[in-house]
Amino acid sequence: MRKYYNRIKQNILNNYRGTLLDIGHEKKKVLKERVSKSEIRNRISILQNTIENVKLNNTYDVVSCFFTLNDLTYTNISDMLENISKNINGIFSV
């Protein structure tokens, strides 16, 4: 499943500009290292936070969540959807 997830994420990163959000400190370090060596390094910013708590300064045309909902409670999902609605100007894909 991880290979599938990484392939989808790589296709998105190759074609678009955006902000990546991840909760893991170690994952963020690895991701920053990978991004810094790739052609997408000037198009991607990385935040460490949770989707239900992050405060964003921008609105986004597309928000996608990969394998996130499995780990959230009902309250977390409600907070996440409320937060996304404040920052989205288009499509939310799960």
Residues 6 or more apart whose CB falls under 8 angstroms from that of 66 comprise 5, 8, 9
Structure tokens, 58: 């921008």
Domain encompassing residue 90: 50-94
CA distance 83 to 54: 8
Q: Which residue has better confidence, 78 or 62?
A: 78
Q: 1 and 43 share a domain?
A: yes
Question: β-pairing, 88-93 with 60-64?
Answer: parallel
pLDDT of 44: 78
pTM exceeding 0.75: no
The rounded percent of the chain whose pLDDT value lies above 90 is 0
Condensed to tens digits (0 to 9), the pLDDT of residues 33-49 reads 887 887 777 887 777 77
Confidence of residue 81 (pLDDT cuts 50, 70, 90): confident
Q: 81 and 59 share a domain?
A: yes
